[in-house]
Copies of this chain bind each other. A is one copy, B any other.
């Protein structure tokens, strides 16, 4: 089986969608500084700065984030239209020890899956996974969903508000290899088919909380902390309460934890997410 696609003429690399995730902020600035040096793809380099849903009515007093999301939808989309850019790569950081993850809303977007496999081969020293949020394109609200194809590159661990050289460098190489792949693809290279492991998000788990105050009463257990993508078995330690007690995973199915102790998810009531792993066959690929 082989699949052909039109060329990817317009690719957007975006940083700063979450303004305190600094690797992407500084990487996009660096790419902007170097723009023109041998770029063979029409690459849009975007300082994005916060991006909620672009739909719904907007007023004069709308918050900055709402206004900016409209601007970005106009610049990179409109979402779902033929004018939308061909590919969006949105750069993120996490405090979780997740290595480099491609996060997408599809488990059969062959462009995204081939790019993932290329990065895996080019960067064998970096732990790398493909995460699939099983949400329809209409329901998806992230910046990368505005393009015809799109994904987030999520790299950690890095505290928000901090840039760490090793994380920045991994992101830089990831973006370079992604753009290389697009150039190869556009120049007619045929990519072999094969298999990719996909982690499909199943559910989130919240912290234990005080019934009245809703304050959290436990932290991620030290035996789980920094063990993203290590299979969590029923009865494995999950949390350690602030008085020292161990709370265990009561699910019946072994699942793969990720986004363990992500800073931005405390307010979303997510202590960690759990995924099922599947092997997906991707077809041989070329341009039309």
Given B95, B160, B164, B244, which contacts A225 in the complex, CB threshold below 8 Å? B164
Taking CB atoms and an 8 Å cut-off, the chain A residues in 9-62 that contact chain B are 26-27, 29-30, 33-34
Contact: A165 with B263, CB < 8 Å?
no
Contact: A261 with B95, CB < 8 Å?
no
Binds B, one of A83-91, A145-153, A216-224: A216-224
Distance in Å: Cβ of A160 to nearest Cβ of chain B: 7
Query: Which residues from chain B contact A215 at a C-beta distance below 8 Å?
Result: 29
CA distance A274 to B110 in the complex (A): 51
Given B34, B164, B168, B219, which contacts A163 in the complex, CB threshold below 8 Å? B219
Instruction: Point out which of A168, A219, A222 has the most chain B C-beta atoms below 10 A from its C-beta.
Output: A219
Query: Which residues from chain B contact A26 at a C-beta distance below 8 Å?
Result: 216, 219, 242
CA distance A159 to B33 in the complex (A): 30
Instruction: Point out which of A95, A161, A168 has the most chain B C-beta atoms below 10 A from its C-beta.
Output: A161
Given B159, B165, B222, B244, which contacts A95 in the complex, CB threshold below 8 Å? B159
Number of A residues near B (Cβ < 8 Å) is 33
Main secondary structure of the interface of A (DSSP, over half): loop
Distance in Å: Cβ of A286 to nearest Cβ of chain B: 33
Distance in Å: Cβ of A172 to nearest Cβ of chain B: 8
Contact: A165 with B222, CB < 8 Å?
yes
Query: Which residues from chain B contact A243 at a C-beta distance below 8 Å?
Result: 30, 33-34
CA distance A34 to B244 in the complex (A): 13
CA distance A222 to B169 in the complex (A): 10
Contact: B168 with A242, CB < 8 Å?
yes
Query: Which residues from chain B contact A137 at a C-beta distance below 8 Å?
Result: none
CA distance A264 to B216 in the complex (A): 24
Q: Provided the pairs A26-B242, A29-B215 are in contact, do residues A221 and B161 lie with their beta carbons within 8 angstroms?
A: no
Given B30, B162, B168, B225, which contacts A166 in the complex, CB threshold below 8 Å? B225
Contact: B240 with A165, CB < 8 Å?
yes
CA distance A215 to B30 in the complex (A): 11
- By Cβ-Cβ distance, the 8 closest A-B pairs, closest first, are A159-B159, A161-B263, A30-B242, A165-B222, A165-B219, A95-B159, A163-B219, A165-B240
**Interchain Cβ contacts under 8 Å between A and B, 12 examples:** A29-B242, A34-B243, A159-B263, A162-B263, A162-B266, A164-B219, A164-B222, A165-B219, A165-B220, A165-B221, A168-B242, A169-B222
Further pairs besides A162-B266, A165-B220, A165-B225: 20, Cβ < 8 Å: A26-B216, A26-B219, A30-B242, A33-B243, A95-B161, A95-B162, A159-B159, A159-B160, A160-B160, A160-B263, A161-B264, A163-B219, A164-B225, A164-B261, A165-B221, A165-B240, A166-B222, A166-B225, A168-B219, A169-B240
